Structure 1
C-alpha cells in the first residue's frame, strides 16, 4: 500500500513539474515576442527614420516643382517663338508695303527714279517725197505707245519721253513731225527711257514678231541701249 502511495506521489510531482515548465515556457515565449515588437517599433520610430522620411518627402516635392517649372518654361518658350514669328511676318509685311508704296510713287512719277534700264530711240526714216507718202516714215503716237506699253508690261518702274515723266494717265498726241506729251511738245528723235531690269526690258522689245519688228515694218528707225545708270526727274506739275 505504501508503494502505491509513493507511485502516486511521484506521478503527481511529474505532472506538476510539467505544468510549471509549460507555463514558464509560455511566459518566456510571450515575453520574447513582446520584446521583439517593442524593439521593432523603437527602430521604426527612431529620429533617423523620421529624418529619412522628411528627405524622401522633400525630394518628391522638389521633383514635382521641377516638373511644373519645366512645363512653365516650355510654355514661355513657345510664346516667345510665336511672338518672333508674328514679328517677322510683321516686318515682312511692312517691308512689302514700303516697297509697294515706293513702286506706286515711281509709276506715278511722284519721286525721281534712278537705276538700270533701257533707252529706246525712235527716229523718222528717210523717204522719197516724190514716190512715197511722208506720213509712212514719221513716228506717230501709236509707235511710241507700243514701246511704252510693252516696257510697262515688262516691269518698268519709271518711264519718260525726252525727259518728261509719264504715267498711266499721260496723254500723247502726234502733230506732224512733233508729239505732245501732257501738253508739252517735243521734236524727233524721241527717246523713251525706262527703269527696270534692262535684260528683261530689252528681251521683251526684241521678241520675234514683237514691237521692234513692227516698228521696222512701219519704216521707223529704232535703236536700243541698255544702261546701268538711268536718271528720271520727278513729274513736273503745271501751275
Structure 2
C-alpha cells in the first residue's frame, strides 16, 4: 500500500512539472503566432495592444494554474503525511508486538508473577524417634528438594517456587551447610513449595505410595504436608545479580 502511494505521489509531481512547461510553451507560441497573423502591415501599436491584451489573459490563466498547482502540492503534502503517519503506525505496531513477545517470554520463563490452581506443600526435618536413623537421614537435603521439584515438573507443574523463590531454568538448589541455597539465597527448613498446574495430578505425585515424598515421610519420618489450592500464587524470578559469562548467542 505504501509503495503504491509513493508511486502515485511521484506521478503527480511529474504531472505538475509537465503542466508548467506546457503553459510556458503555449504562451510563447501564442505570442509568436500573433506577430505572424497581424503581418508587417499592421501598426506597431495595434500589435502591441493585441499581444498585451492576450498576455493579460494568459497571465490570468497562469495564475489560475498556479492555484491548481498549489492545490496539487497540498494534496501531495497530505499524501506524504498520510504515508508518514502509516509508517509511524507500522513502527509502533512493531514495537508493541516486540513488547508482547518479551512479555510472553518472561511469562514462560518464570520472570513474572503468576497464579492458578495447584498445591501448597511443606517439607521439614524428621521428628522420628527411630534410633536406627542416622542424624544425616533425619535432615532434608538439597537433593531431596531437587527430586521433589523434578517429580512436580514430571506431573505437569507450570510454575514452582520454594520459599517464595521462583524456580527457573537458571535456578540452583544446592547445599549450604545446614541450609539450602536457592537463587543465590540461603533458606532454612521448613521448606514451603508452591506449584501451579493440574492440582489432582500434582497432589497424587506428592502423596501416592512409591513417590519420593511418600518415601521421605514413611521411611525417614520427614514432616510433609500437601494441600490442593484453587488459587496458588507466586512471584517471578528477581535475582538481578545473575550473569551469563560463558554462553554466547548463536546468530542464524
TM-score norm. by structure 2 comes to 0.50
Q: Deviations over 1:125-168 (max 9, x none)?
A: 12569875321111001111121111111111111000000113
Q: Hey, what's the Cα distance between the residues in 2 that align with 1:227 and 1:207?
A: 18
Distance across 2 between alignment mates of 1:214 and 1:129: 15
CA distance in 1, matches of 2:192, 2:132: 29
Corresponding position of 1:187:
188
**Match in the other structure for 2:160:** 159
Q: Does the 8 Å contact 2:120/2:226 carry over to 1?
A: yes
Aligned partner of 2:23 in structure 1 is none
Map 1:105-120; keep pairs closer than 5 Å.
105-120=106-121
Deviations 1:61-92 (A, max 9, x none): xxxxxxxxxxxxxxxxxxxxxxxxxxxxxxxx
- Kindly indicate whether residue 243 of structure 2 is the aligned counterpart of residue 238 of structure 1: no
What SS is found at the alignment partner of 1:110? coil
The reply to whether residue 197 of structure 1 matches residue 198 of structure 2 is: yes
Q: Secondary structure at the match of 1:223?
A: strand
C-alpha separation between the residues in 1 aligned to 2:119 and 2:202? 7
TM normalised by structure 1 equals: 0.53
Q: In 1, are the aligned partners of 2:171 and 2:182 still within 8 Å (CA)?
A: yes
Structure 1 gaps, min length 5:
1-97
Question: Take 2:239 and 2:213, find their aligned partners in 1: how far apart are those partners?
Answer: 32
**Runs of 5+ consecutive residues of structure 2 not aligned to the other structure:** 1-99, 242-252
Q: Does the 8 Å contact 1:107/1:167 carry over to 2?
A: no
1:142 corresponds to 2:143: yes
Shift in Å, 1:213: 2.1
Q: What is the distance in 2 between the residues matched to 1:106 and 1:211?
A: 29
8 A contact 1:107–1:158 mirrored in 2: no
Deviation string for 1:175-195 (max 9, x for gaps)? 343110021011110011001
Aligned length: 140
Question: What secondary structure is seen at the aligned counterpart in 1 of 2:225?
Answer: strand
Is the Cα–Cα contact under 8 Å of residues 124 and 137 in structure 1 kept in the other structure? yes
Asked if structure 2 preserves the Cα contact closer than 8 Å seen for 1:119 and 1:191, the reply is: yes
Worse-matched range after superposition: 202-211 or 155-164: 202-211
